[in-house]
Amino acid sequence: MESRIIRAVDGIDFTVREGDCFAIVGESGSGKSTLGLSLIRLCPGDVSGEILIDGVNLLKLSEDEIRKFRGSKISIIFQEPSSALNPVMKVGDQLMEVFTVHGYSKSEAYQKSLQLLKTVGIPEAEKRMQTYPHQLSGGMKQRVIIAMAIALNPRLVIADEPTSALDVTIQAQILNLLKNLSQSYGLSTILITHDMGVAAELCNRIGIMYAGKMVEIGPLNSIFAIPLHPYTRALMSCIPRSLKENLKPLPGHVPDLSNPPKGCRFHPRCPYAKEVCTLEEPNLEKIDDRLVSCHRVGEI
């Protein structure tokens, strides 16, 4: 079989502080989901580098240790709520399982699950424990999944497009819930999304990914106010807002990651590209409160 090596994620460094919400924003093919999966070591390919949580390097743990680590220290919420729950198992039993496999007794598990369902805002929690996933709406399912993710008080939750499959009104509720949870539990969150608006609702720091690389990292407000990287700038001007200002679309499309362009990966689409951009890959440089990887950042 023909196969190609794809560097979906290439040399990425970032930190998330305790209680912080960090958003990774990128278009499809930017490698953002791969990054999310590698953080929890669920990614099929080879991962090199260091993933430190509270000083523990996840990449050095054995399979057994990482299994214990997942759930108790770090957990993940996926995009599609309907496929993340077992369709032939009652909601309550699935929740209780999270506790029983980590050594709680059945009655303890039941009480804790009930409490959790109330925490994530599910009405009539006792009744919901006895229902099957298909009897719940998409928003309710996502709440149950969030409940499972926070069940063991993890330090970090990775949310991979948690609201992309939901309607806007439900999306607003789920974002609200995530925000409240992280405030009241001091939970750190990494939100992976293609939607700048969703990132803006939930996060205070943001990293923009393009073709497997972080191009800009910094506080949300300052990035949205004055985007420094040309790609961030282009993304911002692609968003239709209620004002009828004209959209300035970005030409071309995301490069093939098995054969990325030389130099800066954004240069073929960049209106400011110069010769140096085609030759040398820019590094993330500190500028005021953020990191930007662009050769021409001071000039444009």
Partner 1 sequence: MELIKGENLSKTYNLKISLTTSIKVKAVENVSISISEKEVFGLVGESGSGKSTLGRLMLFMEKPDSGKVIFKGVDLSRAKKDEVKDARRRMQIVFQNPDLSLDPRMKIYNTLKEALVCCKYKGDFVERIKSVLEEVGLSSETLNMFPHQLSGGMKQRVALARAILAEPDFIVLDEPTSALDVSVQAQILNLLIDLRKKLNLTYLFISHNLSVVSYVSDRVGVMYLGKLVELGNCDEVFNEPLHPYTKLLISSVPALYMTKKFFTQNHTALAENGEENPSGCRFFKRCPYAKELCRVKEPELDGDKHKVACHFA
> CB of 149: closest distance to partner 1 in angstroms?
20
Instruction: Check residue 271 and report its DSSP letter.
Output: T
> CB of 136: closest distance to partner 1 in angstroms?
9
Query: In sequence order, which ranges of 50-163 are alpha helices (DSSP H)?
Result: 63-72, 81-84, 91-100, 106-119, 125-129, 138-150
Structure tokens at 149: 């993710």
Pick the stretch among 3-11, 83-91, 148-156, 232-240 that binds partner 1 (CB under 8 A).
Answer: 232-240
Phi, psi of 25 (to 5 degrees): -110, 135
The nearer residue to partner 1, 121 or 154, going by C-beta atoms, is 121
Pick the stretch among 38-46, 104-112, 170-178, 280-288 that binds partner 1 (CB under 8 A).
Answer: 170-178
> CB of 141: closest distance to partner 1 in angstroms?
11
Q: Measured in whole angstroms, how far is the alpha carbon of residue 279 from the centre of its chain?
A: 31
Question: Residues, the chain, total?
Answer: 300
Q: Is 218 in the site for partner 1 (CB under 8 A)?
A: no
Q: What is the torsional sign of CA 13, 38, 263, 253?
A: negative
| Cα–Cα distance for residue pair 47/44, rounded to 1 Å | 9
Pick the stretch among 6-14, 96-104, 161-169, 271-279 that binds partner 1 (CB under 8 A).
Answer: 161-169
Considering only residues 30 to 89 of the shown chain, the ones binding partner 1 according to CB under 8 A are none
| Cα–Cα distance for residue pair 148/24, rounded to 1 Å | 22
> CB of 131: closest distance to partner 1 in angstroms?
13
The nearer residue to partner 1, 153 or 221, going by C-beta atoms, is 221
> CB of 191: closest distance to partner 1 in angstroms?
12
Q: Is 198 in the site for partner 1 (CB under 8 A)?
A: yes
Q: Is 132 in the site for partner 1 (CB under 8 A)?
A: no
Are β-strands 205-210 and 21-25 bridged in parallel, bridged antiparallel, or unpaired?
Answer: parallel
Instruction: Check residue 77 and report its DSSP letter.
Output: E
Structure tokens at 36: 């999310």
Structure tokens at 29: 């093919």
Which position among 82, 137, 153, 221 is part of the footprint of partner 1 (CB under 8 A)?
137
Phi, psi of 198 (to 5 degrees): -65, -45
Q: Is 27 in the site for partner 1 (CB under 8 A)?
A: yes
Which position among 3, 107, 249, 259 is part of the footprint of partner 1 (CB under 8 A)?
249
What are the residues facing 210 on neighbouring strands?
Answer: 213
> CB of 60: closest distance to partner 1 in angstroms?
36
Lookup result for tokens 């196969």 = 3
CA-derived radius of gyration, the chain: 21
Lookup result for tokens 């951009």 = 277
Q: Is 248 in the site for partner 1 (CB under 8 A)?
A: yes
Q: Is 197 in the site for partner 1 (CB under 8 A)?
A: yes
> CB of 17: closest distance to partner 1 in angstroms?
23
* 62 C-beta neighbours (distance < 10 Å), count: 8
| Cα–Cα distance for residue pair 203/219, rounded to 1 Å | 9
> CB of 246: closest distance to partner 1 in angstroms?
8
Q: Is 167 in the site for partner 1 (CB under 8 A)?
A: yes
The nearer residue to partner 1, 27 or 93, going by C-beta atoms, is 27
Q: Which residues bind partner 1 (CB under 8 A)?
A: 27-28, 121, 123, 137, 139-140, 167-173, 175-176, 194-198, 200-201, 224, 234-235, 237-242, 244, 246-251, 253-254
